[in-house]
Structure 1
Amino acid sequence: MGQGRLEWWANRSTCLETYDIDITVTVDAVGNWRATGRHANALDATQREGWDFLMEMDPHFSIAFPGEDRGGITVRVVEAEDGTLWLVEAPDWDGSVSIAFDLT
């Protein structure tokens, strides 16, 4: 149990947003880990809009723990209706995503 920070990176040099979370990590018998968490602070309307936008674009974040300047573990985040965040390591994610914008 502890704290962490979810970082959403647009590319290797541009972090669009960070979110502090309270996190609980469990490790199974073969060393695979899973985590659950919650936003450390309730998101205001603007933060919620940004969070929802990023989650819709791509739910992959880097996670950083206290003392780390930058997240090194990529996780896929799923948010339950009650606000619980489920984090699963995504080591095979290559950082690419295909997004279409309707500019009409």
Structure 2
Amino acid sequence: MDRIAGRARLEWWANEATCLERYAVDITATADPADTWWAAGRHAEALDAPQREGWDFLMEMDPYFSLALPGEEKPSLFVRVSEAQDGTLTLTEALDGKDGSVDFTFDLP
């Protein structure tokens, strides 16, 4: 079983050219012999009110992020993120064919 621990980065991309937000996270990632991959962690620093609002909005819209593992400059994995009430993040590799695209309609006044 392979394990990586350290500071990583979650990025939420609106499209190929627009990254809406980046979040530093401290994670422990594990891969078993069958190449099943998962990670658990927390935000590296507590989110302030505007950051929390943005995080909650992105999570509600689409909880899929690109993940740059510790020591990587660019993201190498696409993950689904869930957050427990205590702030613990669970990341699972997106293997279900999800491409990260979302259809969202804004009502403008």
SS in 1 for 2:67: strand
SS in 2 for 1:103: coil
Task: Give 5+ residue unaligned stretches, structure 1.
Answer: none
CA-to-partner distance for each residue in 1:28-54, whole Å, 9 max, x for gaps?
231211100100000000100010011
CA distance in structure 1 between the partners assigned to 2:6 and 2:39 by the alignment: 11
**Matched length:** 104
What percent identity do the matched residue pairs reach?
Answer: 63
TM-score of the two chains, using structure 2 as the length reference: 0.87
SS in 1 for 2:27: strand
Structure 1 position 78 matched with structure 2 position 95: no
Structure 1 stretches of at least 4 aligned residues deviating more than 6 Å after TM superposition: none
TM-score of the two chains, using structure 1 as the length reference: 0.91
SS in 1 for 2:54: helix
SS in 1 for 2:60: helix
How do 1:18-29 and structure 2 match up within 5 A? 18-29=22-33
Cα RMSD of the aligned pairs, angstroms, is 1.3
SS in 2 for 1:56: helix
Structure 1 position 51 matched with structure 2 position 55: yes
